[in-house]
Amino acid sequence: MGEHAVVIQIEVNGIEHRVHASTSDTLLDLLRGKLGLKGVKRGCSAGQCGSCTVILDGKAVNACLVPAVRANGKHVTTVEGLEGVDGPHPLQEEFERNGTVQCGFCTSGMLMSAKALLDSNPNPDRNKIKEALSGNLCRCTGYKKIIDAVEAASKSELPPARAPMTRN
């Protein structure tokens, strides 16, 4: 099965794109390479570290495991799309406080897993937060301040989750 070129239509952070890609490209290749969204981090290319987590039609996924063609017709939110016109997302505000972020390489993925959680469950308890972030590895922090930040964000007024993309 050889690889061949395809055209992928995808909405990323509210902007519609038509992108030429290869069937061997992953969503991570497409976002980082073709669309220049460098906030999406490559940590393992095997779905084991969570650094490349993005939200694909409402679900947190490892972009390195999703073939780019599977994202055709879907919409994606990356860390670059987290800040709204009204300012930063409450998660970003909480992550900026209290030393939550150290090296920051896992941060984009953490934020996206946390956002997917809060979009579906605005009042998670600590165990739910831990579960939702269990696929996002961090070697710097010991996770405590991250879990604290997600918990604090859940107590503030959350912006509505984006409606699924409607196609005409």
Partner 1 sequence: MKQTFNVVGRSHPRHEVGDKVRGKAVYTDDLEFPNMAYGAILRSPYPRARVVEIDASEARVLPGVLGVLLPKDVPQKPYNCSGNPPSPLAIQDERVLTDHPLHVGDRIAAVAATSTELCQKALSLISVDYEPLPPVLDLDEAISETSPVLHPEIGPTNIFNKIEADQGDVEKGFAASDLVLEDLFETPGIFHVCMETVCCICDFTRKNDLVVWSNSQTPFQERRILSKIVGLPESRVRIVKPIMGGGFGARQQLHNQVVGALLSRLVKRPIKILNTREEEMVGTCVRHASKCRVKMGVSKEGRIQAFQAEVHHNCGPYATHSPIVLAAQSRKVPYRVPHYRYEGYCVYTDYPVAGAMRGYGNPQLSFAREVLLDRAARKLNMDPIQFRMENRIFPGDTVPGSPLVLQSCAIKECIEAGEEIRNRIDRQEEANPQKNSADIVERWGMALAMHTSGASNNTGMSSAVIIIHDDGSATLLTGSADMGQGSETALTQIVAEVLGVELVDVRVTAADTLHTPYETGSFASSQAYVAGHAVHAAAMDVIERTRTSLAARYEVETDHVVFENHRFSINSTEKPISLTFKKAISKTHFGETGTVVTGRSSFKASHSAPPFAACWAKVAFDRLTNSIEVRHVIEVVDVGTAINPDIVTGQIEGGISMGLGYALMEDLEVDSRVSKPLTNDLLAYKIPSTVDMPEIHTHIVSSFEPSGPLGAKSVGEMTVIPVAPAIVNAVVAATGEDISQLPLSKYFNIKRPL
Please state the separation of Cα 18 from the chain's center in Å: 20
Q: Identify the helix (H) or strand (E) that includes residue 16.
A: strand 15-22
Among 135, 151, 158, 162, binds partner 1 (CB under 8 A): 135
Residue 94 CB, shortest distance to partner 1, in Å, is: 9
Q: Are 158 and 118 within 8 A, CB to CB? A: yes
116 touches partner 1 (CB under 8 A): no
124 touches partner 1 (CB under 8 A): no
Farthest CA pair distance, the chain: 51
Among 6, 65, 69, 137, binds partner 1 (CB under 8 A): 137
Angle among Cα 70, 43, 17 to the nearest 5 degrees reads: 35
Q: Is 12 helix (H, G, I), strand (E, B) or coil?
A: strand
Nearer to partner 1, 26 or 168 (CB): 26
Summarize as ranges the residues that interact with partner 1 (CB under 8 A). Answer: 24, 37-46, 48-49, 51, 78-80, 82-83, 88, 91-92, 95-99, 101-108, 111, 129-131, 133-147
